[in-house]
Chain A
């Protein structure tokens, strides 16, 4: 308390107009916050507490403020051709591994519970996971992929639960959201992209895949259609990448900004408002965590389903 009053004398002049002002500037602050933080970073000092980007970006440390931090091991960069890759694990890699470990433990225990209680009704976690799996199978995979759904079900399930667990892990204090890193979402979207093309080529053959690029238009229009189709080919994974990344990042920025309001106004009075708003956003984030995992899975299956569609006038080869 002494520390706060000493450093932030404004606390003595706190009144309700500040509260009103806080609500008014909330949106603007939320938008300008990353810039403020970055610009003031070189100066260090008082504004260090408000460094939003520090919380959002990847780093080679695990932060447990105020209990200190763990420095992750750093390997020398690997040179592959003209590309230098730093393979040392970062915060997001560690979070991803933690999410994977939790996911593996949950799924293996569920799978073993099925082995143990064969033919009986599922209970507890198995029941919950089963409902989700049934939903993905019956409401995502089957309507979009038809009778081929079984081939792609493992990927859809893995993507859904991986994204969900990463998203949820990011909501735990001191943890970070791997899915708010564009490299992670880009890789996931690449998986969907590769599987989509594989599905299209497997179903329609190379010829069918190339014919798909012409969009079924007459040859005179190919000059226009082929670039458009190629762009649309890459727009899909790009949209997947950006949607997941932006959604997971935005929510966290808003939460950090709301908490930072306390430090911006250098006042404890603003704290209840910040906490209330943060709680609301936190609830929304819980929903978004499921929502984005669902969306990624749905869109992946839709893209795969579209790629598997047979071209017009082609015979059904089965």
Chain B
């Protein structure tokens, strides 16, 4: 037991720290720490961080580009859809306009033709009146001429007057104003 104690704890033993060695370890480790920190850890860890950062940036950039491309695609799609809708609308509108125009033209043409027919009818009526008046005058003249001839042969005023009157009453009736004209 005493041997074990001496072996482990007394000076030079396994468990007795040597102050000189503590001093050298302290100095060595301290210098090593500062030298390595300045010359090795800083550049190595710095390079690692830098590389990580550049990789991250590259990923971010790719992500951003992807997002942008998707946005543009979506915009294009939206624009295409809008254009389609616009075209549809224009076609629809023009169809309606054309329909309206056609209806208008038809309507106008119909009105025109109706008016022309009416005009023609009026003209025909007027012409007919005029013809009737002319005919009446002619008939009156003829009657007068006939009467003249009768008178020349048989001047019996009373009898002949009745005959003429009966002749006249057999003719188709006419407007009094037209007769007076």
User: Is chain B a partner of chain A in the same complex?
Assistant: yes
Contact A107 B14 (CB under 8 A): no
**Which chain A residues border B4 with CB–CB below 8 Å?**
35
> B1-35: contact bitstring with A at CB < 8 Å (1 yes, 0 no)?
00110110000111111111111111011001101
Contact B32 A103 (CB under 8 A): yes
| CB interface residues, A 130-175, toward B, < 8 Å | 130, 133-134, 137, 153-155, 157-158, 161-162
| B74 CB within 8 Å of chain A | no
| A56 CB within 8 Å of chain B | yes
Closest residue of chain A to B16, judged by CB? A182
Given A35-B7, A153-B41, A188-B25: A183 and B17 interface contact (C-beta under 8 Å): yes
**Which chain A residues border B12 with CB–CB below 8 Å?**
57-58
List, sorted by A's number, 22 A–B pairs whose CB atoms are closer than 8 Å: A34-B14, A53-B14, A58-B12, A85-B20, A86-B20, A88-B20, A90-B21, A93-B20, A93-B24, A100-B28, A103-B36, A104-B40, A107-B40, A107-B44, A119-B51, A154-B37, A154-B41, A158-B33, A182-B16, A183-B22, A187-B22, A187-B26
| CB interface residues, A 68-126, toward B, < 8 Å | 83, 85-90, 92-93, 96-97, 100, 103-104, 107-108, 110-111, 114-115, 118-119
**Which chain A residues border B36 with CB–CB below 8 Å?**
103-104, 107, 154, 157-158, 161
| A129 CB within 8 Å of chain B | yes
**Which chain B residues border A88 with CB–CB below 8 Å?**
20
Contact A187 B25 (CB under 8 A): yes
Expressed in whole angstroms, the Cα–Cα distance for A83 and B18 within the complex equals 12
Contact B32 A100 (CB under 8 A): yes
Expressed in whole angstroms, the Cα–Cα distance for A224 and B29 within the complex equals 37
Contact B7 A58 (CB under 8 A): no
Q: B16: shortest Cβ distance to chain A, in Å? A: 7
Could you tell me how many residues of chain A have their Cβ less than 8 Å away from some Cβ of chain B?
A: 53
Contact A58 B43 (CB under 8 A): no
| A181 CB within 8 Å of chain B | yes
Expressed in whole angstroms, the Cα–Cα distance for A188 and B29 within the complex equals 8
| CB interface residues, B 31-87, toward A, < 8 Å | 32-33, 35-37, 39-45, 47-48, 51, 54
> B69-110: contact bitstring with A at CB < 8 Å (1 yes, 0 no)?
000000000000000000000000000000000000000000
* 4 tightest Cβ-Cβ pairs between the two chains A and B: A107-B40, A183-B17, A183-B21, A187-B25
Q: Name the interface size band of chain B.
A: 35 or more
Contact A182 B15 (CB under 8 A): yes
Q: A154: shortest Cβ distance to chain B, in Å? A: 4
**Which chain B residues border A153 with CB–CB below 8 Å?**
41, 45
**Which chain B residues border A262 with CB–CB below 8 Å?**
none
> A278-290: contact bitstring with B at CB < 8 Å (1 yes, 0 no)?
0000000000000
| A30 CB within 8 Å of chain B | no
Q: B14: shortest Cβ distance to chain A, in Å? A: 7
Contact B25 A96 (CB under 8 A): yes
Expressed in whole angstroms, the Cα–Cα distance for A86 and B21 within the complex equals 8
**Which chain A residues border B25 with CB–CB below 8 Å?**
93, 96, 178, 183-184, 187-188
Contact A38 B17 (CB under 8 A): no
Expressed in whole angstroms, the Cα–Cα distance for A191 and B28 within the complex equals 12
Contact A111 B48 (CB under 8 A): no
| A249 CB within 8 Å of chain B | yes
Kindly name the residue among B16, B40, B42 whose own CB sees the greatest number of chain A CB atoms within 10 A: B40
Given A57-B14, A184-B21: A34 and B7 interface contact (C-beta under 8 Å): yes
Contact B29 A186 (CB under 8 A): no
**Which chain A residues border B40 with CB–CB below 8 Å?**
104, 107-108, 110-111
Closest residue of chain A to B12, judged by CB? A57
Contact A107 B45 (CB under 8 A): no
| CB interface residues, A 22-77, toward B, < 8 Å | 34-35, 38-39, 53, 56-58
Expressed in whole angstroms, the Cα–Cα distance for A53 and B15 within the complex equals 12
**Which chain A residues border B21 with CB–CB below 8 Å?**
58, 90, 92-93, 181, 183-184
Q: B140: shortest Cβ distance to chain A, in Å? A: 130
Contact B47 A118 (CB under 8 A): yes
| CB interface residues, A 213-231, toward B, < 8 Å | none
Select which of A58, A83, A119, A133 is within 8 A of B44 by beta carbon.
A133
Given A96-B25, A110-B40, A154-B37: A83 and B19 interface contact (C-beta under 8 Å): yes
Contact A133 B18 (CB under 8 A): no
Q: A225: shortest Cβ distance to chain B, in Å? A: 30
Contact B44 A111 (CB under 8 A): yes
Q: A29: shortest Cβ distance to chain B, in Å? A: 16
**Which chain B residues border A35 with CB–CB below 8 Å?**
3-4, 7
**Which chain B residues border A155 with CB–CB below 8 Å?**
33
Select which of B28, B39, B45 is within 8 A of A97 by beta carbon.
B28
